[in-house]
């Protein structure tokens, strides 16, 4: 659950209370209160939506940069290979890309994949 300060409801309630206080002090007329409240509520809602969208975009771009700069494409594919096959491939010195290609060829057939790894150098 998000802390209250990070919710739209918090900011809209705050605007309403600040405007009510301004009307009570005579700084804002009561006829202007509804107009100001509507405009400020729209601004807050749009701002939070834009910040949320920007956060998603920045997170995605950072993730893609990390994947591209660290050879992550191959690493991500390797995650689909069973642990036992990765361990066996490492033991025989099989390159990761070769392992991935074998795993694709023998998908769902772990015994055949392990046999192919063991026979790789022979």
The count of domains in the chain is 2
For 44-86, write each residue's pLDDT tens digit. 889 888 888 888 888 888 777 666 656 555 666 666 778 888 8
Report the pLDDT value the prediction gives residue 73, as an integer from 0 to 100: 58
Same domain, 65 and 84: no
Which pair of structure tokens corresponds to residue 21?
A: 């206080």
Considering the entire predicted model, what is its pTM? 0.43
Query: Mean pLDDT over residues 15-35, rounded?
Result: 87
Same domain, 9 and 32: yes
Same domain, 43 and 81: no
Structural domain for 27, as ranges? 4-69
Under 8 Å CB-to-CB from 103, ≥6 apart: which residues?
Answer: 80, 81, 82, 85, 113
Q: In Å, what is the CA distance from 100 to each residue of 26, 76, 97?
A: 72, 10, 5
Report how far residue 60's alpha carbon sits from residue 38's, in angstroms, rounded to the nearest whole number. 33
């Amino acid at each position: 659950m998000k802390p209250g300060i990070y919710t739209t409801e918090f900011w809209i309630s705050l605007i309403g209370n600040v405007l009510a206080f301004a009307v009570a002090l005579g700084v804002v007329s009561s006829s202007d209160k509804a107009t100001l409240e509507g405009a400020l509520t729209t601004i807050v809602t749009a701002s939070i939506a834009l910040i949320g969208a920007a956060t998603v975009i920045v997170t995605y771009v950072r993730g893609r940069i990390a994947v591209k700069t660290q050879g992550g494409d191959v690493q991500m594919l390797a995650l689909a290979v069973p642990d036992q096959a990765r361990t066996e491939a490492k033991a025989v010195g099989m390159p990761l890309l070769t392992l991935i290609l074998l795993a694709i060829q023998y998908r769902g057939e772990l015994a055949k994949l392990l046999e192919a790894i063991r026979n790789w150098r022979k």
